[in-house]
Amino acid sequence: MAIISSASGSAGSLQDAQKGRTNVKTAQALAKMKALEKKAKRYKLPMGELAIFTQQLASLLTAGLPLVQCLEALQDQTEDQCFRIVIRDVRTDISSGNSFSSAVRKFPNSFNTLFVSMVEAGEASGGLAEILMKVAGYFESTVKLTKKVKSAMTYPIAVIGLAIALVNVLLIFVIPVFAAMFADFGAKLPAPTQFLIDLSNFMKKWWWLIGASAYGAFWVGSKFIATPNGRRQKDKFLVKAPIFGNLVHKIALSRFCRTYATLIRSGVPILRTLEIVSAASNKVQIEDACQEIAKHVSQGGQVSEVLAANPFFPPMMKHMVKAGEATGNVDGMMTKIADFYDVECEATVSALTSLIEPLLIVFLGVVVGGIVMAMFLPIFQLGAVAGGLQ
């Protein structure tokens, strides 16, 4: 009987342990789900993922599936757990009787203003699938251009970062070895060599001050750019900056034209279109122009009249918009202008890439080669330095 009681007690203890582990796993799963749901409310969906989602949703709607069923299918196939929760909440909201536009408006970080406005236009016109297809094309073109620019910038940033790291290694670890060797000469060193040795000693002693100063400058610059005046100065500098300013200007013009054309073609009212274009531009020059256009149009004027008086917009664009207004095809002209500037941006990126590569190689060679030459200069003049003739 004692043996049976002992076995029963062991079995009960094993069951209690298994239940305890199950309860712990359940609690962990619930805590993870709550954390994901909290994160999903402020989750910022990348533009590339939004383009794919919009394209897939438009395709499913075109195939004749109900909106709720389309969202359910997209929720099941989405690997991003945060976005899956966003789609689930949107689908639940629609099932409760709310509109698609009101449901996605609750997640402004995942669905931008342009997407929400296009959905509203699609619901009003009854052509949601067609309008989503247009906005998907807009997102894809934006992502394509952004990727090309980032790809072109990756190489120079990597080379400059490598140059900075290499110079720091030489100054902190290599040059002190040469300095100790030259100290035994007891003679005056050449000016370039002495300068590098002094710089090396300064960096070894005050490296923390250099790091703190760099961080402080970055922090102050970030705070200044966050202010309205700082943002305005930043945007003006970027457009007028050498080498890259022309590219930044063309990208801003392309985004302005394509966003405007996509919204007008989808039936969004012009004043609402200007609000969305202003918010999507991320440039104070475009925002100021949209405010002027909205004021001018509300008084019965034309868009081309404001563009003609604004130096930010080139003459070619002003004349094409004016021709579009005369023929009643402003959105078509805006699309052609956007296509033109996209091609111009691609050509500019290719030209900059071809120009930057040799310049960076020369820059790296001059910096590293200059340091090496400065450190070996006393050795080249070893006889004179050792004899104290200098």
Q: State phi, psi for 313 to the nearest 5 degrees.
A: -100, 130
- The pLDDT of residue 218: 92
CATH number of 47-111: 1.20.81.30
Rounded Cα distance, 120 and 126, in Å: 10
The DSSP result for 285-346, as a single string, is: HHHHHHHHHHHHHHTT--HHHHHHH-TTS-HHHHHHHHHHHHHT-HHHHHHHHHHHHHHHHH
- The pLDDT of residue 389: 44
Rounded Cα distance, 61 and 130, in Å: 9
By C-alpha distance, which of 215, 236, 213 is closest to 225? 236
CATH number of 140-390: 1.20.81.30
To the nearest 5 percent, what fractions of the chain are helix, strand and coil?
Answer: 85, 0, 15
pLDDT digits (tens, 9 = 90+) for 233-281: 999 999 988 878 888 999 999 989 998 998 888 888 899 899 889 888 8
Low-confidence stretches of the chain (pLDDT < 70) are 1-25, 27, 29, 185-187, 382-390
- Contacts from 369-372 at CB under 8 Å and sequence distance 24+? 370/192, 371/167, 371/170, 371/175, 371/196
**Beta carbons of 105 and 129 less than 8 angstroms apart:** no
**What's the token pair of residue 378?**
């006393």
pLDDT digits (tens, 9 = 90+) for 315-341: 989 899 999 999 989 999 999 999 999
By C-alpha distance, which of 39, 43, 34 is closest to 108? 43
Please report, for the chain, the start and end positions of each structural domain, with discontinuous segments joined by +.
47-111, 140-390
Check for a shared fold between 47-111 and 140-390. Answer: yes
Rounded Cα distance, 118 and 315, in Å: 30
